[in-house]
């Protein structure tokens, strides 16, 4: 694989009585956004912490930017640390320092760092430059965290759950910023338990559950392979409508007042036409009728038997 900047092979991390990461292998190419997607406890943070030099693996091989194994005792990793940036999970700045002071504090830790005011502008925080951290909104705080992750102009950026706890507008702002990192040629490894976030942002996804890889690939490939095809959904049906649909559409599943039918490839239009014809176009018989495409949530459900939200 060309220009691999992160490599993980047979990675294992055991906490006392707790196998957090079990034999995980993947590669990340330069310039791509790569997502570790999985529910809480899947091992995402542990993997990212190993790559950031925060945790040591129990066994296995990992490298970042340099094909020498991390944690080899003889090597000085200062050079690599200067080239990576990290947004930790649940980032918190100093409440009583301003936005400028928070970013400048971390900038001083590097031998070479960017212009703090420029990065404040890039993160859309100019009018908050002199505001105390504690007075910022959740989205603004997260942008300060991303600014800190970028202050050394890193080649690789680790973002651990970058939008957890944010409202929908702030999430979208952070997504735009992450897309901007890719446009600037950065390699991004992010973790998330939001399947829409992984789908929106990632070039490739590694799906994890209970410390192991479930599958990996591009979002489209995963959905095509494991999503289970389209589903016809008829919601809010009357009792009579449910009976008619069950007769007309073999394999229908009924849940409350909703009827769903798994569609074979290319069957969507025919099934929809059949449903409309048996309902006689009578708007009182059901409330909604549509074809639902599978998502990464369906991929996770089909491969693990668990829901991403509940697992
Ligand atoms: P995720 O980021 O996917 O939510 P984590 O990597 O944080 O998952 O955790 C994976 C597993 O390792 C979980 O069962 C968690 O409880 C456990 N774990 C994480 N950190 C520690 C630790 N410092 N000590 C013991 N167990 C831990």
Is pLDDT of 190 > 80?
yes
Helical pair 138-150 and 168-183, crossing angle rounded to 10 deg: 20
Q: How far is the CA of 210 from the centre of ligand 1 (A)?
A: 10
298: closest CA among 236, 245, 246, 224? 224
Q: Whose CA is nearest to atom 22 of ligand 1?
A: 15
Q: Whose CA is nearest to atom 27 of ligand 1?
A: 15
Q: Is the CB of 15 under 6 A from ligand 1?
A: yes
Residue 189: strand pairing partners: 34, 158
Is pLDDT of 80 > 90?
no
Tell me whether domains 4-220 and 229-293 share a fold. Answer: no
Is pLDDT of 175 > 90?
yes
At 13-56, the pLDDT tens digits run 999 989 999 999 999 999 999 999 999 999 999 999 999 988 99
Mean pLDDT of 154-165: 94
Q: What DSSP string describes 194-251?
A: -HHHHHHH-SEEEEEETTEEEEEE-HHHHHHHHS---EEEEES--HHHHHHHHHHSTT
For the chain, the farthest-separated pair of C-alpha atoms sits apart, in whole angstroms, at 76
Q: Whose CA is nearest to atom 11 of ligand 1?
A: 20
The domain segmentation of the chain, as residue ranges, is: 4-220, 229-293
Q: How far is the CA of 23 from the centre of ligand 1 (A)?
A: 15
Q: pTM of the full predicted structure?
A: 0.88
CATH 3.30.70 matches 229-293 = yes
Atom of ligand 1 nearest to the CA of 18: 26
Q: What is the pLDDT of residue 64?
A: 92
CATH topology of domain 4-220: Rossmann fold (3.40.50)
Q: How far is the CA of 106 from the centre of ligand 1 (A)?
A: 26
Q: Is the CB of 42 under 6 A from ligand 1?
A: yes
At 96-119, the pLDDT tens digits run 999 999 999 999 999 889 999 999
Q: Is the CB of 18 under 6 A from ligand 1?
A: yes
Instruction: Let me know the angle formed at the C-alpha of 97 by 95 and 98, rounded to the nearest 5 degrees.
Output: 110
């Amino acid at each position: 694989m060309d220009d691999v900047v992160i490599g993980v092979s047979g990675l294992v991390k055991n906490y006392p009585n707790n196998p957090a990461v079990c034999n995980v292998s993947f590669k990340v190419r330069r310039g791509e956004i790569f997502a570790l997607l999985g529910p809480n406890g899947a091992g995402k943070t542990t993997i990212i912490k190993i790559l950031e030099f925060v945790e040591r693996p129990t066994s296995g091989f990992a490298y970042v930017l340099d094909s020498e194994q991390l944690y080899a005792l003889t090597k000085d990793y200062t050079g690599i640390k200067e080239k990576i940036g990290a947004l930790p999970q649940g980032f918190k700045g100093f409440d009583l320092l301003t936005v400028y002071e928070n970013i400048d504090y971390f900038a001083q830790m590097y031998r070479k760092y960017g212009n703090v005011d420029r990065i404040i502008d890039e993160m859309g925080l100019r009018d908050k430059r002199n505001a105390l951290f504690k007075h910022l909104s959740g989205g603004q705080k997260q942008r300060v965290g991303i600014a800190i992750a970028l202050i050394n102009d890193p080649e690789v950026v680790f973002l651990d759950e970058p939008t957890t706890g944010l409202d929908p507008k702030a999430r979208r702002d952070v997504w735009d910023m992450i897309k901007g990192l890719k446009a600037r040629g950065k390699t991004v490894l992010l973790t998330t338990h939001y399947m829409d976030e992984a789908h929106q942002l990632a070039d490739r996804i590694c799906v994890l559950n209970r410390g192991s890889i479930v599958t990996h690939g591009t979002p489209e490939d995963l959905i095509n392979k494991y999503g289970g095809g389209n589903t016809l959904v008829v919601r809010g049906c009357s009792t009579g409508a449910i009976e008619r649909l069950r007769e007309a559409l073999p394999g229908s599943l009924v849940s409350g007042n909703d009827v769903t039918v798994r569609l074979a490839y290319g069957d969507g239009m025919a099934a929809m036409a059949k449903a409309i014809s048996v309902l006689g176009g009578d708007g009182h018989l059901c409330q909604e009728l549509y074809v639902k495409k599978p998502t990464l949530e369906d991929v996770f459900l089909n491969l693990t038997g668990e829901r991403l939200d509940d697992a």
